[in-house]
Each structure stands twice: as C-alpha cells, then as structure tokens.
C-alpha cells in the first residue's frame, strides 16, 4: 500500500531550536508539496518541488524556513530558529507531474507532523 511517510509524527521543541521534518514521497512520484495547517490560517502551501527542484516556495518564510530534496526519496523542511508561531501541523504530499507541468493524478498526503514550539 503506497503512502507518503512523514517523520516525526509529533515534535515538541523549545523556541530557538532547529527543527527538521522529513517526508518520504510515494515511489515514482516526482512532485512534492509542503503545507502548514493552523486553526487560524487553514492549509497553507509553503513550497513544492518537481523532479527535486524547487518550483515555488513563495509561501515559505525565507528567513527561517528551508526546504530541500536531497534525493528522490526524501524531502526535508527545516526551521531554524523555531518560534512559537511555527506551531502547526505540517503536511507533505506527493503526486505525479507530467512534462507539461500539471499534476496528472491526485496528490497523496502524509499523516502530518504536529509541531509544538514552547
């Protein structure tokens, strides 16, 4: 049963600490999305990658957030330094994009990482 795997599922950290969230997309998927969900803002798109290259990270605070894909099986979202306002659930999703740039199939979401910054 193919699925997107996110680790850790829960993370509590102190303000100022570095946080790294990991995502294993579905094998063969070439598009990866990072979302953040809070009660106030709902689901916000932070960034997305196609074939490991960042295509759009306009939703991501650049000063403290960074997203990378070291290889096709791993996407990371890093926050340094973390702040209480970063507390949220972070979702990763993957899909299969075509040569024309559109997503040919639905996006599959992971279970999320619940981050609490105290």
Partner 1 sequence: DAKTTQPNSMESNEEEPVHLPCNHSTISGTDYIHWYRQLPSQGPEYVIHGLTSNVNNRMASLAIAEDRKSSTLILHRATLRDAAVYYCILRDVEGGSEKLVFGKGTKLTVNP
Q: How far apart are CA 27 and CA 19, in angstroms?
A: 25
User: Is 108 an interacting residue with respect to partner 1 (CB under 8 A)?
Assistant: yes
Residues 38 and 88 sit within 8 Å (Cβ to Cβ): yes
Q: Which of 24, 52, 57, 109 binds partner 1 (CB under 8 A)?
A: 109
User: Is 95 an interacting residue with respect to partner 1 (CB under 8 A)?
Assistant: yes
The piece of 17-25, 61-69, 73-81, 88-96 that touches partner 1 (CB under 8 A) is 88-96
Q: How far apart are CA 115 and CA 52, in angstroms?
A: 24
Supply 62's token pair: 């650049």
- Residue 73 Cβ, how far from partner 1 at the closest point, in Å? 19
- Kindly identify the residues of this chain, within the stretch 21-80, that bind partner 1 according to CB under 8 A: 31, 33, 35, 42-43, 45, 48, 50, 55-56
Q: How far apart are CA 92 and CA 22, in angstroms?
A: 9
């Amino acid at each position: 049963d193919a699925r997107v795997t996110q680790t850790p599922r829960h993370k509590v950290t102190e303000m100022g600490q570095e946080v790294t969230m990991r995502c294993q997309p579905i094998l063969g998927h070439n598009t990866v999305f990072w979302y953040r969900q809070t009660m106030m803002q709902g689901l916000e798109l932070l960034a997305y990658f196609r074939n490991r290259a960042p295509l759009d990270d306009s939703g991501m605070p650049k000063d403290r957030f960074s997203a990378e894909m070291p290889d096709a099986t791993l996407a990371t979202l890093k926050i340094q330094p973390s702040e209480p306002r970063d507390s949220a659930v972070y979702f990763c999703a993957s899909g299969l994009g075509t040569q024309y740039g559109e997503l040919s199939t639905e996006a599959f979401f992971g279970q999320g990482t619940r981050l609490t910054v105290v």
